[in-house]
């Protein structure tokens, strides 16, 4: 299933980076929240996941995110998430750069995670920037307010907003340094994040794509592994580290 070159490169690598997208979360049952039944079927995410919508109707936007937060809270990491957490233990420098907001990588035990689109388990006041956990505010049916009186919003990147610069800079640096770079569960078409595999390749990394189907990255990757990451990654761990 895996080439000898991949096994050799991964065993010897001191610096490994992994770029993950919706595919790895979908294997845990995280829905895309598009075309949901009931009230939310009437709305497109673009209509709710933006700052103007939040200011215009904070209770509606909060209700949608509260619904999402509750669903994601009950979802567990899958074997792919746990395999990446195990892989981190085997390399001197390891980083996950994720487009996902579900926090499943950290819940699986990964330590170095750069979150390009934020984290749905965090929230902050739009006025004073005070942080709030979901546990502190999830019971509120209307948009929660900070002790300073400001509205509290989810700590996620909305349409029209920039990626968090510190997370992007760290992710880009990890891609540039990587000796082996994995692209897992992403179509790699949304920029600037989609540029990360090629940044790694130009810097000399061995680029591996793991996805259910081929993408625009496939013809440029050094190795393409088609299938579920939750099945492929644990097998790769066994093949690479069982005798190490």
CA distances from 92 to 1, 87, 205, 209 (A): 26, 10, 16, 22
Q: Is 118 in contact with 156 (CB distance < 8 Å)?
A: yes
Count CA within 13 A, CB hemisphere, residue 114: 23
What would the two tokens of residue 205 be? 């990394």
Helix-strand-coil percent breakdown of the chain, rounded to 5? 40, 20, 40
Task: Provide the CA 129 distance to its chain's centre, in angstroms.
Answer: 23
| Residue written as token pair 């029209």 | 160
DSSP-derived letter for residue 39 is G
- How far is residue 147's CA from residue 168's CA, in Å, rounded to a whole number? 31
Please list, in sequence order, all residues whose beta carbon lies within 8 angstroms of the beta carbon of residue 164, skipping any fewer than 6 positions away.
115, 116, 118, 157
Catalytic residue among 91, 93, 105, 117: 117
For 148-168, the DSSP string reads TSPBEEEEEPPTTPPPPHHHH
User: Apex CA 93: angle with CA 2 and CA 103, to 5°?
Assistant: 85
Active site residue 117: yes
- How far is residue 32's CA from residue 190's CA, in Å, rounded to a whole number? 16
Residues marked active site are found at 117
């Amino acid at each position: 299933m895996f080439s000898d070159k991949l096994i050799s490169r991964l065993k010897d690598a001191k610096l490994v980076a992994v770029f993950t997208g919706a595919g790895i979360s979908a294997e845990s049952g995280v829905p895309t929240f598009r075309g949901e039944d009931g009230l939310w079927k009437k709305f497109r995410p673009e209509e709710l996941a933006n700052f103007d919508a939040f200011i215009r109707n904070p209770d509606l936007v909060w209700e949608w995110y509260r619904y999402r937060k509750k669903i994601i809270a009950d979802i567990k990491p899958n074997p792919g998430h746990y395999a990446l957490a195990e892989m981190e233990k085997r390399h001197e420098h390891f980083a996950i750069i994720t487009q996902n907001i579900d926090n499943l990588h950290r819940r699986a035990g990964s330590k170095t995670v750069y979150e390009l689109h934020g984290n749905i388990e965090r929230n902050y006041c739009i006025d004073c920037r005070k942080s709030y956990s979901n546990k502190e505010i999830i019971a509120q049916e209307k948009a929660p307010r900070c002790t300073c009186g400001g509205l509290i919003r989810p700590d996620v990147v909305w349409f029209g907003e920039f990626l968090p610069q510190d997370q992007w800079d760290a992710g880009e640096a990890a891609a540039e340094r990587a000796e082996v770079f994995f692209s897992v569960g992403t179509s790699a078409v949304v920029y600037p994040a989609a540029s990360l595999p090629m940044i790694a390749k130009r810097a000399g990394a061995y680029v591996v794509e793991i996805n259910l189907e081929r993408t625009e990255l496939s013809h440029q990757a050094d190795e393409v592994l088609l299938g579920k990451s939750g099945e492929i990654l644990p097998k790769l761990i066994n093949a690479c580290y069982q005798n190490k």
